Structure formats: structure tokens, C-alpha cells
Amino acid sequence: MDSENRPPENRTDETTQNPTTNQPPERASTQPRRRRRWPWVVGGLVALGFVGLLVTAVVVVAVMAAGGGGGTAGGPSAIPFDEEYVSGDGTDKVISIPVEGVIASGGDAIAGQSSTVTPEGLQDALDQASQDPDTAAVVLEVNSPGGGVTASDEMYRSILEFKDKSNMPVIVSMGDVAASGGYYISAAADEIVANETTLTGSLGVIISLNNFTELADKYGYKQVVIKSGEFKDIGSSFRDVKPKEREIFQSVIDESYNEFVSVISKGRNLSEKEVREVADGRIYSGKQAKELGLVDEFGDLEKAADIAAENANAKNPTVVRYVQTPGFLDLVQARLAPPEPEAIQLIKAAGIELSPRPMYLYRPGI
């Protein structure tokens, strides 16, 4: 008999005893085998993580694209200003633009936001006002101690250009403080309104140099400088200022001061001699400033708006204030921005400039 037709030998079914143990074998389970689920769970988590990374990457790319090449204010992604109602119900508008805080370049502003305390941000606001056919006049609400020399001058020139192109009056309404660079930009206005208690003046330029020599000696810190020219390390914080270096700094300060005097002389119709007599760096109250010809009227925003409307021949205009509400991308940009080290924050709060530069700035004790 061939093997294909041979009956099975010694085959046991599920009831046959185990020959080695004489114990009946376990019956085969009739239940389906449980499928392992953990690979699917792990795979799902991995996929979810990948999707999260992909979404994050898309958001980052979108934010960078929205930043307009650096995220500075005034670029293609500049945020339009919303209008906050103040008073009036006429067709013509008086646009109030707040200028609050230390004047700085756009690179120092919050990513994605057009702060009107930067030249770029103020330009955006003035452009929006000029493009609105209902705009009759502009009021600048200045509440600033000033700031950078270059940034202040750029804002001043933006105001002059706006007046020249739009033929609209610009009135300044001074807040608590409108000093140094805050006054510099105010000099471009047609008229200046202040409160009697407004702190203004501080007409001049300052540069603060640090001297850490005693601190370095105490802790054994030494700095080795290799330079290409005699004055390449001018203003070093680890040695005293040399007489020739002091002359160089003073020449730069004098140039900026002369420009400040010229701006006030033109804007306030005062002789340079009259300006130099009051521009010795001291501060003035609003009342003192009016007596010196630095301020025209006492009052608040309402007074400034009335003067603006009168100069523009606008009857009972609607006064609105430009405000900004950060959008989603702006919030994301702010969150993605690396936090500034606490030590740097403390240094800035103390008024210490790590990179000394000329400033139109009022800061007590600087």
C-alpha cells in the first residue's frame, strides 16, 4: 500500500491521552485569538505627533511669511488700525493717533505689530489716515519721554511729509510726559496743546557710557582688545574715557543738539538764540512751557480735536482713536519669540545702555 492511501497511525484526537504524562491534553480553545492592539495605539500616537509637528511647521512658516522679511512694523504685513469712537457725529473725521512709550526703531518693536512709537508704525497710521477720504485732521496724543535720535528724527520728518502731501492740520495733545524726543516730534505739529502739569522740555542730547573698571578689578575680570585703529574701542566699559575720546563723543552730541535746536526754531518760530536759552536739558511743566513759547494752549484731547477741526474747517467732526488688536499670527509670533534673559531685563530696567548711543531721552538718573 502506498503512503498516500495508508491510514493514519497513532493519531490522537483532542481526547487522546498524552503518552508522556498520561494526562488528557488540553482541549483546543474554541474562542478566537485576541488581537494585539498596542501596535495600533503606538502607531496612532506617532502619527498624531507627526501631524502636530506638521501643523507647527505650517504655523511657523505662515508666521515667518506674515512677518514680511523680519517681522518689523511697517512692512507688507502691517496691521491696519481699528477706529475707537471718542466723540462727535459728523461726516468728517479727526483721527487721534497715540504715540506712547519710548521712541525706538521698528526692530525693537514687538514682532508683527505696528507700534506708533516707531517710525514705521507712525508712518502706517499716517498712511491709513491719508487714505481715508473722510479724514479732515490728525491729532497726535504724545505721551513719551523720547528715545533714539534717529527714530525721533524719522518720525518728525514723517509728520512734515504727511502735512505737505495731505494738506491736513496736525495738532499735538501732550499727556503726562512729552519730553526730549517726545517734544522733538511735537515740533512738527501746527499747534501744541498740553496740560498745565504736563512734564515736557529736557531739550537736548545725552549719551551714557558705562565704567565697570572697579567691578572688574574686584572680581578679577580682564578684557583683551585687539583693534585696527586707535579709537576702535571708543567708549569701552573697562577703562576710563580718554580726553580725545571725550572730544569725539562731544562732537557727535553737538551735531544732534544743533539739529534739535533747528527743529524747535522752525516749528515754534523762535530764534536759535531763544531756543538755546531754554534748551539746556532742564524739564518744564506745561505752564512754564507755555510761558516760554514751547506750548500754545492748555487742554486735553477734546481741546486739541476742537483746534484741529477749526483749522480743517470741519463742523462737528467725529473723533476716533486708532487702536490695534493683535491677530492670531501676532500672538503666535510673540509666543515663539525667545524670552529675553532676566539679567538683560534688569539692566534695561536700571537704565543701563549696553550699547551707548546718543539719545533724545528724558530719564531721571540716567
E strand intervals along 93-186 = 93-100, 135-144, 146-148, 170-179
The stretch 90-117 carries a mean pLDDT of 80
Half-sphere exposure of 107 (CA within 13 A, CB side): 3
Cα–Cα distance measured from residue 350 to residue 163, given in angstroms and rounded to the nearest whole number: 38
Q: Which entry of 165, 227, 232, 244 is annotated as an active-site residue?
A: 232
- Summarize the confidence of residues 343-357 as an average pLDDT: 69
Q: Which of 28, 87, 34 is nearest to 319 (CA)?
A: 87
Q: Which of 173, 180, 186, 236 is catalytic?
A: 180
Q: In the prediction, which pLDDT does 116 show?
A: 81
Q: Is the pLDDT of residue 287 over 90?
A: yes
Q: Which amino acid makes up residue 152?
A: S
180 catalytic residue (yes or no)? yes
Is 232 assigned a catalytic role?
Answer: yes
> pTM of the entire structure?
0.76
Residue 52, pLDDT score: 54
Lowest mean pLDDT among 101-105, 345-349, 357-361: 345-349
- Give the tens place of pLDDT for each residue, 247-266: 999 999 999 999 999 999 99
Whether residue 361 contacts residue 180, with contact meaning beta carbons closer than 8 Å, is answered with yes
**Is pLDDT above 50 for 76?**
no
Whole-number pLDDT of residue 67: 46
Question: Picking from 224-238, 242-256, 316-330, which range would have the lowest pLDDT averaged per residue?
Answer: 316-330
Question: What length is written for the chain?
Answer: 366
Confidence of residue 324 (pLDDT cuts 50, 70, 90): confident
Q: Is the dihedral of CA 194, 200, 201, 204 positive or negative?
A: negative
pLDDT in tens, 45-54: 555 555 555 5
Range with lowest mean pLDDT among 67-71, 143-147, 229-233, 259-263:
67-71
pLDDT above 70 covers a percentage of the chain that reads 69
Count CB neighbours of 365 within 10 A.
Answer: 5
Q: Report the pLDDT value the prediction gives residue 173, as an integer from 0 to 100.
A: 98
Say if residue 334's pLDDT is above 90: no
Q: How far apart, in Å, are the Cα atoms of 303 and each of 40, 271, 297?
A: 71, 28, 9
User: pLDDT digit string (tens) for 107-166?
Assistant: 655 444 457 899 999 999 999 999 999 999 999 999 999 999 999 999 999 999 999 999
3-class secondary structure for 306-333?
A: HHHHHHHCCCCCEEEEEECCCCHHHHHH
